[in-house]
């Protein structure tokens, strides 16, 4: 007798644990605090156990700037190398990009310079670039000097602040400065909102970090 209609297929695992990223000298910016900055800005909260971003996440926040309402459409991109190729999808068409490094990790500052180069080559021509040196609450283990980062930011006409998402230092100031630098595109006086996605001129007014 013959068994009919039975086929044996290999059982495939539907889930496997994520493999660690291969080391990359070019883009090493996972864990610098991008999501934490966005959470602090949008929700005014901080999660010490926040998960790494997968792909990208999207959040919005509307703020009053002078007599206008500015709506921030924020794409929080993943820092892991395996998601790097997705970044252009988010910075293309953006009015501003915040590039975040961790003041306690020198290599993240090197990565930042690679992002600046990439934005210059492939990003929108007038994109406002802001550099955030995050985790300034960890001043004792700092590896990047504030002056070096500020001098670099000035040399490329970028906004510069040291931030702490954990202690809510300079987060709102960062976004306010971005608001200030983006020219209003709205010519209709009845509707005064403008939006831009995340991912140049006088220095930002800021609270001292640490």
Ligand X SMILES: Nc1nc2c(ncn2[C@@H]2O[C@H](COP(=O)(O)OP(=O)(O)OP(=O)(O)O)[C@@H](O)[C@H]2O)c(=O)[nH]1
Footprint of ligand X (CB under 6 A): 30-36, 48, 50, 52-53, 78-80, 134-135, 137-138, 164-166
Smaller CB separation from ligand X, 94 or 163: 163
- We find the least distance from the C-beta atom of residue 174 to ligand X, in angstroms, to be 12
- We find the least distance from the C-beta atom of residue 59 to ligand X, in angstroms, to be 12
- Our CA dihedral for 200, 204, 208, 209, rounded to 10 degrees, sits at -40
Name the percent of the chain in helix, strand, coil, to the closest 5: 30, 20, 50
- We find the least distance from the C-beta atom of residue 127 to ligand X, in angstroms, to be 20
Smaller CB separation from ligand X, 37 or 182: 37
Smaller CB separation from ligand X, 69 or 89: 89
Using N-to-C axis directions, what is the helix angle for 171-181 and 34-43, rounded to 10°? 90
Category of 148 on φ-ψ map: left (φ > 0), alpha (ψ -120 to 50) or beta: alpha
Smaller CB separation from ligand X, 50 or 69: 50
């Amino acid at each position: 007798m013959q068994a009919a209609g039975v086929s044996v297929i290999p059982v495939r695992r539907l889930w496997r644990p994520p493999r660690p990223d291969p080391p990359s000298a070019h883009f090493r910016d996972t864990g610098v605090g991008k999501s934490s900055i966005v959470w602090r800005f949008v929700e005014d909260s901080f999660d010490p156990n926040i998960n790494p971003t997968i792909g990208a996440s999207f959040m919005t926040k509307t703020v009053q700037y002078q007599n206008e309402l500015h709506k921030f459409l924020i794409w929080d991109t993943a820092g892991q190398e395996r998601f790097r190729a997705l970044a252009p999808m988010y910075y293309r068409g953006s009015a501003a990009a915040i590039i975040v490094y961790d003041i306690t990790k020198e290599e993240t500052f090197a990565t930042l310079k690679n992002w600046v180069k990439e934005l210059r080559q492939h990003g929108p021509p007038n994109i406002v670039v802001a550099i955030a040196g995050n985790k300034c609450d960890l001043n004792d283990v700092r590896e990047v000097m504030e002056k070096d980062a500020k001098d670099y930011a000035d040399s490329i006409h970028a906004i510069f602040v040291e931030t702490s998402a954990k202690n809510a230092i300079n987060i709102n100031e960062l976004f306010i400065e971005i608001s200030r630098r983006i020219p209003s595109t709205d010519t209709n006086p009845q509707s005064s909102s403008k939006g831009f996605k995340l991912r140049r001129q006088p220095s930002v007014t800021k609270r001292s970090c640490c």
